[in-house]
Chains A and B, each alone.
Chain A
Amino acid sequence: MNEMRTLLADTARRIFEDRCTPEILSAAQHGQWAQSLWDVLEEAGFTQVSVAETPAEGGERWGDALALLREAGFYAVPLPLSEMFLAASLITQAGGVIPEGLLTLGDPAQSRMTLNRRGQHWFASGTVARVPWARFAAHVMVAVQDADELRWAIIPIADGKLQWDNNLAGEPRDTITLQDVEVPEDRLDVLPSGMDAKTVYRLGAATRIMMIAGALDRVLALSVLHAKERTQFGRPIGRFQAIQQEIAIMAAEVAAAMASADAVLGIEERGNDDTLAVAAAKIRVSQACGAVSAAAHQVHGAMGFTEEYRLHHFTQRLWSWRDEYGNEGFWAKKLGQILISGGADAMWSQISSSL
């Protein structure tokens, strides 16, 4: 990691350590928006981290954003950082203007929006489901179907109707319904030209890969700490081989997830369109979620299963994020198709040359 990025990550870590307290996390789970945390991040310039001054810097800024998302995952930061980073990055690349206020992004696979033209005006109708943090956001960047073409628009959330919903961690995942909402020209086609929905989906998957890696690392750290501190039968439970084996297996899963995230970070910041790597990484980190959270809850015993104890903030996020932007099954089928289409004997070449 270069010096600038190390500095960025260290600063983020300090802010999250200080400001993303257990109280903030509990309040967020009960529906409260973490305004003070948001303010601190905005003031420190973190909400702009993915915005590149020149196109040449785009990859590196995106890499910075992904690195920060890993830290955000480690601290279970209850804010739509991934959506802001991704939307801001895309809009900047397209030469557009990032709207004021909180901006979120709708997963293209969740969008059932259509665009209709009447005279010189465009109108959006339909729904987009599972929009992260929509109820607290001012705008949503969303895919809208215009006859044969998929276009992207920025729409004020106040112009639509919201139906609240959450993921398993209590993070807002709201459905937005629009009925004939006018979309001004300058809020349309906000995606870089030539970029398709598949790419946005892949970028979304990359954000989840980083967030999951961070949260997995935290769950391992909590489990090791607990094993050292909790005593039963006159000694720390970490002295028992059964616990050591359980944690060692957890550590192996986390290691594989971290290595996968490292790979994706490198690929994304180089601007490589490497669906194979993102697919493999999303599979690997998603698989780790189940194994690691199960082992962590075992090690923590009954206490870890309570609302009061902090473990659940992380395991509930693992259970949620692994299914966002494609779970193991989805990406395994995709990866299988990619490899098979190249021929069985070329499979090794494909796997080993994915840089």
Chain B
Amino acid sequence: MPVLRFDPAEGTEALTPLRLEVRAFLRQELQEGSFEPQCDSWLAGFSPEFSRKLGQRGWIGMVLPERYGGHGRSGLERFAVTEELLAAGAPVAAHWVADRQMAPMLVRYGTEAQCARFIPAIARGESYWAIGMSEPNAGSDLASVKTRLDKAEDGFRLHGQKIWSSGAHQCHYMVVFCRSAPLGSDRHAGLSNVVVDLSAPGVTIRPIRLLTGEHHFNEVTFDDVKVPEDMVIGQPGDGWRQVTAELAFERSGPERILSTYPLLVEMARWAQKDSADDGVVTAVGTLAAQVWSLRRMSQAIAGMLDQGVDPEVEASVVKDLGTRFERAVAETARIVMASEPSPNAQSRYGRLLAQAILHAPGFTIRGGTNEILRGIVARGLGLR
């Protein structure tokens, strides 16, 4: 039976100075009031100013090649920095997607020219990218996308619609996953990824509001949008392999565990008071044990990725456990620290609790629904 391996990452002690650097920076920022800790900060905390500061410090594009403005550092180093930022609930949403997957995709499959053109600004925290994968009729079944890339005289034309694109209304570019050849017997063939300038003619962005009324998601329509040849990533037809290659990385990161960590901090703060009962203390311990074990697993995966291992099954496990834990923080907090939640609560605890509860449905849906991921685990165990 295949064993799920989470070999402890090596050399993590050496990351401590880097972590301390990030913490010192965050302390400074908090003192200056440049941000308030929030849940889901990698999705909801869009701050070009903050992203630029991180870029200046070399904390974006960390694993990207230096010749493109990256910093040639390891995945474990990036892991340490992103963990610190998310644990603090810092507003990293603007550059998050570009840094996590778009730039690495370009490095892996793009041309020199594409890398030289796009990556420097991404690494500076000045260029923001959105994901163009899901469509109204293509969610879990990503291969069934209908957005078409047609050959034209001067390159290509893009027709179709993408949905759930987080931050697209504030982004510069989108990587659009589309069908470039007719559907044949192999449904994973004939798919491509193209870079689309979101300010191009024919691109329409319409907000999709969350149940909270917040605007993060968008529906992006492409009406005969011109896509130059040099905006295709890799070869046409290579799209499926390109999107699946990075999945272990995207699914196992600290953003699958720490979205509600700022709420746990407020629980601990409450528990420091004399009036706090054992219930709160025990709840903090119970939840902290999850953080402790989950982050070790996430770090182990970061280490494995650095070694060239691609732990698809392990990443699915971390995402499943981590996102359920994220919801559990809110569901536990509200019992031991009872209040009637409100987004406009006076206390930070009250605001974070409300954020966490209202955002919770998304945790286990985004990035691959947990049910799909369990199917991957089942396959990994030989059951299907």
Contacts and interface: CB of A to CB of B under 8 A. Distances in A.
Interface string A331-343: 1111111011001
A225 B8 CA distance: 28
Contact of B87 (A225, A348, A353): A348
B289 interface: yes
Contact of A340 (B7, B271, B294, B295): B271
A95 to B, nearest CB: 32
Given A245-B371, A247-B378, A353-B16, A283 B285 contact: yes
Contacts of B374: 244-245, 248-249
B41 to A, nearest CB: 14
Contact of B289 (A225, A238, A241, A283): A283
A188 interface: no
Interface residues of A, number: 55
B100 interface: no
A197 interface: no
Interface in B266-297: 266, 268-269, 271-272, 278, 280-286, 288-297
A256 to B, nearest CB: 5
Contacts of B290: 284
Given A333-B278, A343-B272, A344-B269, A351 B378 contact: no
Given A252-B320, A280-B289, A259 B384 contact: no
A92 to B, nearest CB: 28
A106 B7 CA distance: 34
Contacts of B314: 255
A262 B6 contact: yes
Contacts of B286: 283, 328, 332, 336
B265 interface: yes
A55 interface: no
Contacts of A276: 292
Interface in A216-244: 221, 224-225, 227-228, 238-239, 241, 243-244
Given A221-B1, A244-B374, A336-B282, A259 B293 contact: yes
B271 A336 contact: yes
A192 B321 CA distance: 40
B371 A337 contact: no
A354 B278 contact: no
B155 interface: no
Nearest to B88: A348
Interface in B307-324: 314, 317, 320-321
A183 interface: no
A284 B371 contact: no
B292 A255 contact: no
B230 to A, nearest CB: 42
B383 A238 contact: yes
Contacts, number: 163
A181 interface: no
Q: Which of B4, B271, B280, B288 has the most CB of A within 10 A?
A: B288
B381 A224 contact: yes
B112 interface: no
A228 B383 contact: yes
B321 A339 contact: no
A336 B285 contact: yes
Nearest to A355: B13
Interface in A252-277: 252, 254-256, 258-260, 262-263, 266, 276-277
A331 B290 CA distance: 13
A345 interface: yes
B265 to A, nearest CB: 5
A238 B293 CA distance: 28
Interface string B7-28: 1100011001001000100000
A255 B4 contact: yes
B297 A259 contact: yes
Given A244-B383, A247-B383, A255-B317, A352 B268 contact: no
B248 interface: no
Contacts of A332: 282-283, 285-286, 289
A349 B27 CA distance: 13
Given A339-B284, A353-B16, A345 B265 contact: yes
Point out which of A239, A251, A262, A263 has the most chain B C-beta atoms below 10 A from its C-beta. Answer: A251
A288 to B, nearest CB: 10
B182 to A, nearest CB: 31
A184 interface: no
Interface string A21-34: 00000000000000
Given A247-B378, A348-B88, 7 more contacts: A224-B1, A228-B382, A252-B320, A254-B4, A281-B292, A329-B282, A334-B285
Nearest first, the 5 A-B pairs at minimum CB distance are A336-B285, A248-B374, A332-B285, A335-B285, A244-B378
Interface of B: 1, 4, 6-8, 12-13, 16, 19, 23, 83-84, 87-88, 261, 264-266, 268-269, 271-272, 278, 280-286, 288-297, 300, 314, 317, 320-321, 371, 373-375, 377-378, 381-384
13 contacts: A228-B383, A238-B378, A247-B377, A248-B377, A252-B320, A259-B296, A260-B293, A336-B285, A340-B281, A344-B266, A344-B271, A348-B87, A348-B88
